[in-house]
Amino acid sequence: MLTVNRINKTYNLERILKDITFTIQPGERFGIVGVNGSGKTTLLRIIIGDEQPDSGTVQFHPADLRVGYLPQGLAPGEDDTIESFLAARGSPGENIEGEFQAVSAQLAVDPDNPGLHERYDRLLEQLSRSVRSTGSQMDTLASLGLGSYTLDTPVSYLSGGQKTRLALASVLLSAPQLLLLDEPTNHLDIQMLEWLEEWLAGYNGAVLMVSHDRAFLDRTVNGIFRIDTRSREMKFYSGNYSAYLEQRLAEQEKAFGAYQEQQEEIQRLSGTARYIRSIGDFRKGGKSDVKAGTDGFSAGFFKDRSLETVRRAKAIEKRLDRLMGDDHIDKPKPDWEMKMEFGDTADTGRDVLILEDLAVGYERQPLLAHLNLILRYGQRCVLLGPNGCGKTTLIRTITGQLPPIHGRARLGANVNPGYMAQEQENIDPALNPYETIYRRTPLNETETRYFLSKYLFKEDEVFTPNASLSYGERARLTLACLVADGCNFLILDEPINHLDIPSRTQFEQALTGFDGTVLAVVHDRYFIDSFANELWQVKDGRIQQLFLE
């Protein structure tokens, strides 16, 4: 179905991908993991033809294989409606029907041609799937939280998350035989994630996806490709994400064991070589020197023993040279991960956030009402609910961006809130990471660059304009700002959407040690299980408060 052979890619003399080779057969579902910047998206873009490799080939089998591709970002036309967008990207019906009619005419002339029969059967299947997909268009849109919009709704009216879901709908409706998905779970709530998992379970094509959602990978893939940050090579691991993690940890333990064994062998051989040479030196110039007047046998005996000792020492040193050279095992290093540490935070009162008969929404139309809730100091609370239920609206009201329809939301004593927006709009596009941090801290230039290195901005990357940063880079910079500001109440709206798995793990660990209070909108089920001790569950315009053990 797909053959990728020895793909290499370099940007500005920096290797991105090295000798990437693999095949995908029908029914196989593979995930690609690796830290941000390791080349995952670049690989998908090369496969789809949006970028060209420096060397190597990509082949589809058959050549006209229908491929559905979901990129990370969506750039619709200014005048696009939902209907026109789906028609342009999602429905293959007209093209397939025209090809089907042409092949039917050719078969009438050449009925014994096996290639035409194979082509006829394939087009017939695609046309059938296209008809079924078109019939389920509104069902698919509804399943992805877009059922309340009519087909003539301008795409520009949709939020960033809704545009992502529309792009996903267009891909699923295109009757693809091979799905290439770049972070498909971003902006999907848990209900939609479960729907997509069920859809993929019934899908009979092949899937290659980039995802940082560990629970989603566990439920959808049967193999993992890992791109190594240093070598830029890719290695395959069978099974889902949990199986990959077990194999990877065992691999790391084995590598570290081999390194330790070699270090012990080097120390042992070095000591032995020093000892043997000291014996040779002792015999040549110490008490064992043959004195004048001794018999010739003694002189020859000690001379031969000295030569033998030197030869033994040289043999050991030669073996040491091999261990330190061609056979040397480098000390295994963990993947380069974000090192996020929150400093000491100022103490707050017992009550950090108080909602008093609060109603939130737009144009006097409440999405959530009669909210009487208190978030206490030290709580790590996750705000859950389907997309569009008012979670982000509540967050914007709490942070003062929207006025309440009724009631009020107030902060407790000595609370210094820090807000991470879903669309990352609080990052000034006119600045770069260095300027962003330097302007909000007393750090000097060296200290600022060291601080940013903890968030994986290295060397001249600190001077990259914020407007040119990737989604993941902007997310890391936002986190850096929260730390730099010394916030003691973090309000996070989808904080880990664009973080790779190692950075998500680091972020979870940092939050576990955060000596403050957190309110987060998040749909990553691994994150919720490891982080939250309180849930605010949105249901029917209200919020139910649940405390976890």
pLDDT mean for each 10 residues of the chain (549 residues)? 94 90 94 88 93 94 88 73 76 56 79 78 62 58 79 81 80 86 83 86 91 90 92 93 88 81 80 70 50 49 58 76 76 63 70 94 87 92 87 92 93 89 77 93 90 85 88 80 86 83 77 83 86 90 86
DSSP code string of 205-255: SEEEEE---HHHHHHH-SEEEEE-TTT--EEEEES-HHHHHHHHHHHHHHH
The per-residue pLDDT for 114 is 80
The per-residue pLDDT for 240 is 93
The per-residue pLDDT for 134 is 46
The per-residue pLDDT for 47 is 95
Tokens standing for residue 415: 């609370």
The answer to whether the beta carbons of residues 68 and 25 sit under 8 Å apart is no
The per-residue pLDDT for 536 is 94
The per-residue pLDDT for 288 is 47
Instruction: Give the C-alpha separation, 515 to 258, whole Å.
Output: 39
Closest CA to 99 of 74, 123, 79: 123
The per-residue pLDDT for 297 is 43
Q: What is the largest CA-CA distance in the chain?
A: 117
The per-residue pLDDT for 182 is 92
Instruction: Give the C-alpha separation, 118 to 114, whole Å.
Output: 6
Distances (CA, A) of 275 to 19, 302, 306, 340: 47, 17, 13, 48
Side-chain-facing half-sphere of 68: CA atoms under 13 Å: 26
The answer to whether the beta carbons of residues 116 and 139 sit under 8 Å apart is no
Give pTM, 2 decimals. 0.64
Q: What is the Cα gyration radius of the chain? A: 31
